[in-house]
Structure 1
Amino acid sequence: MDLSTLKEQAQSLLTTEPHLRIKNVADKLGVSERDLVQAECCGVRSVFLGTQFREIFRRLGELGHVMALTRNPWCVHEKQGNYEKISVGKAPVGLVLGADIDLRLFLSNWQTVWAVSQDSRHSIQFFDKAGVAIHKVYLTEKTNNEAFHQLIADFTSSELVPPLEDITVHHQYTSQAPSELRDEWLSMQDTHDFFPLLQKWNIHRLTALASAGNDLAQKLENPTSIIEKILTHTANTRLPIMCFVGNPHLIQIHTGPIQKLLRTGPWFNVLDPTFNLHLNTNDIASAWVVNKPSQDGWVTSLELYEKGGEMIAQFFGARKPGNPELPEWRQLMLSICSKPLKSD
């Protein structure tokens, strides 16, 4: 479909459904969000910044105070702050370890970057090879606008926009967890050892949780009410948490207390000054309390999954390596478990 035809179709759709967001328009038209940005649909004005995503990302700190947005189909995570301690090189994995903006990057399928203006909001947006939005960086009232315009000037590209690719990965996991899984789980020294363990045995994360034993992973009843209960409790008690939301290319993390909660239809929202979370609770198919050993003691998380087995979001008590888990968080996780968790 050529860009002018796409723009006409998008405008026709918005005439009948004027409140649709650009991602919803893309889904309804069966195109990528990048297609709509390139065609300048939905009130968008865009500038193609090329494919030097690493170089552009390393300069995000120049913008000063911004809002970082990462989403998956079921949850949106928005965090205000500065990009600090950016480590993005030639390696396929990168980091941002700022006081407020905390990211884990998986760069293998990143591709294009665009400067986007829509409804007086300005942003830098990163897309994967399939045209799916990975990460968006929005200007705020405190942003260095001169640095933003300089970034656009330095990277505005006349090269052809690369064609979209199908990067869908169809995993063929083993159907059962091995008998050794539990022993290797119990021997972990760091919570980050868990993903390599799944890779070693080629098992889906949910298969591992279901096979480990109730003292290591428990599936909870009524997941929608559970997550609302947990977030309400942490807000009321000012218990600091960590909230991880990601997609295949990037994980964004909030660390700290939350305060203002609001339900809007299926969406349960955190609406704090520097952190917003929008969670579609209708999409939660299961919730698990997961218990992992580490050098700092046991670490528990609350994990939410959609019906296809993809993780929606993950919650911990706030902690840093070298520090034990917050006792208040541990007690909160124990309170929603029907059976004891391993603690020796």
Structure 2
Amino acid sequence: MAVNTLPQSTDPATLRQAQKDATLRPRDLADQLGVSEAHLLAARTGQHDGHSVTRIDPHPDRLMPALEKLGPLMALTRNDSIVSEVTGTYGGYRAGDHAALVLGDQIDLRIFPKHWVHGFAVEAETKQGLRRSFQIFDAAGDAIHKVYLPLDADPTDWLVLRDQLATGNTSDTLDTAPREAIEDAITDADKVEKLRSEWDALTDTHQFLMLTRKLRINRLGAYRMAGEPYARRLPAAAFGQLLTAMGDTGTPAMIFVGNQGCIQIKSGSYGAVKPMGPWLNYLDPGFDMHLRNDHVAEVWVVTKPTRRGPAVSVEAFDAKGGLITQIFGHRTADVDHNGAWMDLVAGFATAQEAAE
């Protein structure tokens, strides 16, 4: 991949020229320039270099319900280490001040509206044709969620929605806030027994984060504190091996990929893992996932009790303590696990133990 050596600046003309000359993907270019990805889009507000960028109202209550009319779309959610791309429809939107849901055909989202701060409707000329998208960013200008219209789709409803959501703001500059620091593991040795006791009393996985807040620790800190049988650490290499095993066995599972503003969940079985440099990829019909395997620093097998049976997850964290992704067994209406997933994880963990 070519490397662009360009000056750090939020000057719109400088950013437009950098994008015109760039060979990097927008996120990588933004990192190299020392700006956010949203700064790059803001600089192209209006018509520039084959791009049309319109500022839109980013609130999910306006955008999400309207997307269902557009038919099949590609939903993209990512963080620094993993990207999830799911094709489906945006149905079943449920609003909420703290958390909202999309429960459509294939597209399954958990949305945290306070982080949906900057929005853009984008038309970009590509080698494949004109690509249209809605793109949402947080206060720091980092991507929260993107929605892509298929290249061969009729754009009429997309254009109508763009105009309905347009704010009228034509500025090519953007005010952003500093990024929130990634929180490393927070532990408290005096609370280990309290944690284990209340962990045993959990009846729903959503209660777990409430428990960590109550004890003034965090997710990774809780895993390190609790130890087995609640949480068992595996070697970092185990996560890529697990993805490969999932593909080889066709074991149904739920892959959670998220950031502070959106979590995207893909449920089902997966094809073979395709490595490419540091990336591990699922390239399945209607679903692509790209993981920077070299970012995985800690892997945990976690068991939480629920009313519907044990919920077992395998979770990957980066070197800073940030959650990369979680994988759970594919759930049904009756249970929070499935036998194939439980057998796979149990056998995998045993094999890892034997190798240590």
TM-score normalised by the chain length of structure 1: 0.90
Contact 1:64 1:142 in 2 (8 A): no
Contact 2:58 2:136 in 1 (8 A): no
Quick check: 302-311 or 110-119, which moved more?
Answer: 110-119
Q: Which runs of 5+ in 1 are unaligned?
A: none
SS in 2 for 1:297: coil
Aligned with 1:7 (options 5, 16, 22)? 16
Aligned with 2:163 (options 133, 150, 153)? 153
Summarize the alignment of residues 38-53 of structure 1 with structure 2, pairs less than 5 Å apart.
38-40=42-44, 44-53=51-60
Match of residue 31 from structure 2: 27
Query: Is 2:119 the counterpart of 1:102?
Result: no
Number of aligned residue pairs: 333
Q: CA deviation at 1:132?
A: 1.2
Summarize the alignment of residues 271-282 of structure 1 with structure 2, pairs less than 5 Å apart.
271-282=283-294
Distance in 2 (CA, whole Å) between partners of 1:43 and 1:148 is 18
Match of residue 91 from structure 2: 84
Quick check: 102-111 or 63-72, which moved more?
Answer: 102-111
Distance in 1 (CA, whole Å) between partners of 2:203 and 2:162 is 44
Opposite residue 80 of structure 2, the aligned amino acid is: P
Q: CA deviation at 1:23?
A: 0.5
Q: CA deviation at 1:172?
A: 9.4
Q: CA deviation at 1:45?
A: 2.9
Opposite residue 7 of structure 1, the aligned amino acid is: R
Distance in 2 (CA, whole Å) between partners of 1:324 and 1:4 is 52
Query: Which digits, 9 at most, give the CA deviation of each residue in 1:248-272, with x for residues without a partner?
Result: 1110000001114210011000000
Opposite residue 119 of structure 2, the aligned amino acid is: V
Contact 1:37 1:45 in 2 (8 A): no
Quick check: 157-166 or 202-211, which moved more?
Answer: 157-166
Distance in 2 (CA, whole Å) between partners of 1:138 and 1:51 is 15
Opposite residue 132 of structure 2, the aligned amino acid is: H
Distance in 2 (CA, whole Å) between partners of 1:187 and 1:51 is 39
Query: Which digits, 9 at most, give the CA deviation of each residue in 1:158-187, with x for residues without a partner?
Result: 236662223526769854151200010011
Summarize the alignment of residues 55-66 of structure 1 with structure 2, pairs less than 5 Å apart.
55-66=62-73
Distance in 1 (CA, whole Å) between partners of 2:154 and 2:18 is 36
Aligned with 1:217 (options 227, 231, 242)? 231
Contact 2:204 2:307 in 1 (8 A): yes
SS in 1 for 2:315: strand
SS in 2 for 1:108: helix
CA separation of 1:308/1:256 partners in 2, compared to 1, >3 Å: closer, same or farther? same
% identical aligned pairs = 35
CA separation of 1:42/1:328 partners in 2, compared to 1, >3 Å: closer, same or farther? farther
Query: Which digits, 9 at most, give the CA deviation of each residue in 1:259-287, with x for residues without a partner?
Result: 14210011000000111100000000011
Summarize the alignment of residues 1-344 of structure 1 with structure 2, pairs less than 5 Å apart.
1-12=10-21, 14=22, 18=23, 20-40=24-44, 44-89=51-96, 91-118=97-124, 119=126, 120-140=130-150, 143-159=153-169, 163-166=175-178, 168=180, 175-177=187-189, 178=191, 179-221=193-235, 223-224=236-237, 226-338=238-350
Opposite residue 153 of structure 1, the aligned amino acid is: D
Opposite residue 211 of structure 2, the aligned amino acid is: L
SS in 2 for 1:121: strand
CA separation of 1:107/1:254 partners in 2, compared to 1, >3 Å: closer, same or farther? same
Q: CA deviation at 1:46?
A: 1.1
Contact 2:60 2:113 in 1 (8 A): no
Match of residue 7 from structure 2: none
Distance in 2 (CA, whole Å) between partners of 1:109 and 1:52 is 9
Quick check: 75-84 or 316-325, which moved more?
Answer: 316-325
CA separation of 1:155/1:325 partners in 2, compared to 1, >3 Å: closer, same or farther? closer
Contact 2:316 2:324 in 1 (8 A): yes
Distance in 2 (CA, whole Å) between partners of 1:167 and 1:209 is 26
Contact 1:65 1:144 in 2 (8 A): no
Q: Cα RMSD between the aligned structures?
A: 2.4
SS in 2 for 1:251: strand
Query: Which digits, 9 at most, give the CA deviation of each residue in 1:100-154, with x for residues without a partner?
Result: 0000001112112111122122111111122111100001157452211110122
Opposite residue 187 of structure 1, the aligned amino acid is: A
Contact 1:305 1:312 in 2 (8 A): yes
Q: CA deviation at 1:192?
A: 1.4
Distance in 2 (CA, whole Å) between partners of 1:334 and 1:184 is 24
